[in-house]
Structure 1
Amino acid sequence: MRNHRPWPRALGLYALLLVLAALFLTPLVWLLVLALKGPGEMLEFPPHFLPRNPRWQNFIDAMTFENVDFLGYTRNSLILSIMYAALATISSAFVGFGLARLPAPGKKAIFALLVGTLMIPHMITLIPTYLIYSKVGLLNTYWPWVLSGLAGSSFLAFMFRQFFAGMPRELEDASIVDGCGYYRMFWRIFLPLSKPVLATSFVLSFVWTWGDWIMPAMLLNDEKSTLAVAVGSLYRDSAGNIVLHLIAAAAVLYSLPVLVLFLSLQRLFIRGIATSGLR
């Protein structure tokens, strides 16, 4: 007979998972509640949790706010996020494949250096990055994201390396016997087998770019900037006061593309994390 988990222990585990799920969902629920409140309700004290009269019109007002070209900023964010995610995924896969499969001297030292760069805080590189792009005349263009994507990501390269290193050696030997070079082997055999890691890499790099406020604010003007900058900076009335209920509504709309992307690739994303991060 199969051994079943004792009911008290199973119920306790499910209860813990429900509590953790509630904690993670609380900020999203609170954001949605704020997005449905009116301007006066945002400043009430003590505050009411639920809006008295839910204002679904807030979402339309957020998209048609006079100072914010919502669809234009959304287009800019999608262009940057998709472009960077695609380039970073492919270039990081190249690096990971080379570190996992190519017989090259000094490969372990290069891999150690790659892992070491993960410990460098992103904030430290902001000023040098700005100065470099300023010197070469790439401010207010999308070239910084193209170049960053082509350079790949240390974390994504590490993830691909772990995945490719776990693939059977016989697969590589059979490819060499059939006359495949490493370049063709990568495109025809290893890359098609790495769909979970490709999906994981694309989702992570898309979210990094979509949620980035600092780089667009630092490198782009208002016309070419992204939705993150618009939501964080441009919802103000004629007196310069922050319009809180419209910011909340815009933030809900801002989070939808990420949720849709994750839910559509959820299974591949989980498989990618499980197969590449535990080797």
Structure 2
Amino acid sequence: MTAAVERGVASPVSAPEPASAPPRRPPVEDGRRPRWQRVLFLVALLGAAVVFLLPFVWLIAASLRPREYVFAPGFLPVPFSPENYARAWDSVPLVTWLLNSVVVGVAAAAAVTLSSAWVAFGFAYFRFPGRNLLFGLVLATMMLPFAVTMIPTYLIWSKLGLTDTQVPLWAGNLFGSAFYIFLLRQFLLSLPREYFEAARVDGASYPQLFWRMAFPLIRPALLVAFVFEFKASWTDLLKPLIYLRNEQLYTLPRGLKVVLDRFGYGGEQQWEIVLAGSVIATVPMIILFFLAQRHFVEGIATTGRKG
């Protein structure tokens, strides 16, 4: 051993062991895109937003111009004529039509949301023979255009004596909608069935399962269905044209048809009043979207992910 030390060879026993190096961690990848891709994406979004906003900006600008400058080029209200809105407000009962649209829209949206949710809960929870076949038949009704059922539906309401009332505009939604039934059923299928089985063991009834357990859990999807149907009712013109005769019962789309006939084509050619009425009819839906934007987008994303 002495000879080995003299030759510069360390003894295997006394040789210090090299310190073990810590394992190298794999490089952490940044999930964000490169800066140039994010900038390009934001520019594309901004360009798309501008393209979609241009018609509405022109509508507002044209509604604030005098009659002879309504169709002038440009997006600025020059000359400025805000009294167009006062004239439109005084020329037709816009307040009445606005209230009618709100009442009919809320009634239609609430009716179709609750009825569709109840039917969707039945298809999602209960297991019975022919369930898939029956659900397929419900979806098959989406293939029927409104023109096919328009006349039979009108005859039913006529026999009930409910024409020239607002009831046909929303009462049909009490029977649900195939689209919303499908949407809510897919959301309900994502919920753990064990929750409902445990509640049944504790003595909960089927209505309690729906109202106390399913209803709070599917609230985002319910909000999506409500907003969709409210928008559809707000912009619906065909049903008010078929059923309403009394001007005091008109909704906004039906009233705007009167404004167009009276002040637009074949009328007095006062297009500034027509455009002002169009802006008044459009603004409430924009306000509704901004108020419910967070919940609305969350509901769509959650429904799509869980469906």
Per-residue CA distance 1:136-177 (angstroms, 9 max, x = gap): 322111221342121111111111111111111221122112
8 Å Cα contact 1:31-1:248 kept in structure 2: yes
Q: 1:116 to 1:242 in 2, by over 3 A?
A: farther
Amino acid in structure 2 at the alignment position of 1:261: L
8 Å Cα contact 1:41-1:51 kept in structure 2: no
8 Å Cα contact 2:57-2:75 kept in structure 1: no
1:205 alignment partner in structure 2: 229
For the residues of structure 2 that align with 1:37 and 1:233, how far apart are their CA atoms?
22
1:137 alignment partner in structure 2: 161
Percent identity (aligned): 36
8 Å Cα contact 1:213-1:228 kept in structure 2: yes
Matched, 1:100 2:124: yes
2:144 alignment partner in structure 1: 120
8 Å Cα contact 1:162-1:277 kept in structure 2: no
Output the TM-score relative to the length of structure 1. Answer: 0.91
Structure ranking higher on relative contact order (CA contacts 8 Å, 6+ apart): 1
For the residues of structure 1 that align with 2:119 and 2:269, how far apart are their CA atoms?
45
For the residues of structure 1 that align with 2:35 and 2:107, how far apart are their CA atoms?
49
1:272 alignment partner in structure 2: 299
1:230 alignment partner in structure 2: 255
Per-residue CA distance 1:46-78 (angstroms, 9 max, x = gap): x3442322222222221111xx11111111111
Q: Could you list the runs of 5+ residues in structure 2 that have no partner in the other structure?
A: 1-27
- After TM superposition, the structure 1 = structure 2 runs for residues 150-229 of structure 1, keeping only pairs within 5 Å, are 150-221=174-245, 222-229=247-254
Q: 1:49 to 1:271 in 2, by over 3 A?
A: closer
2:94 alignment partner in structure 1: 70
8 Å Cα contact 1:195-1:268 kept in structure 2: no
8 Å Cα contact 1:175-1:185 kept in structure 2: yes
1:36 to 64, 68, 72: 64
8 Å Cα contact 2:121-2:185 kept in structure 1: yes
Q: Shift of residue 234 of structure 1?
A: 2.6
Output the TM-score relative to the length of structure 2. Answer: 0.83
1:89 to 102, 113, 124: 113
Which is further off, 88-97 or 56-65?
A: 56-65
1:243 alignment partner in structure 2: 270
CA-based RMSD of the aligned residues comes to 1.9
Q: Shift of residue 82 of structure 1?
A: 0.8
Per-residue CA distance 1:223-269 (angstroms, 9 max, x = gap): 21111111122352598324211111111111122122221111111
Q: Could you list the runs of 5+ residues in structure 1 that have no partner in the other structure?
A: none
Which is further off, 234-243 or 135-144?
A: 234-243
8 Å Cα contact 1:97-1:164 kept in structure 2: yes
Per-residue CA distance 1:158-204 (angstroms, 9 max, x = gap): 11111111111221122112211221100111101222112111111
Q: 1:237 to 1:120 in 2, by over 3 A?
A: closer
1:18 alignment partner in structure 2: 46
Q: 1:43 to 1:33 in 2, by over 3 A?
A: closer
For the residues of structure 1 that align with 2:205 and 2:75, how far apart are their CA atoms?
63
Amino acid in structure 2 at the alignment position of 1:214: L
Task: Count matched residues.
Answer: 275
1:56 to 51, 57, 82: 82
For the residues of structure 2 that align with 1:121 and 1:237, how far apart are their CA atoms?
33
Structure showing greater radius of gyration is 2
Amino acid in structure 2 at the alignment position of 1:164: L
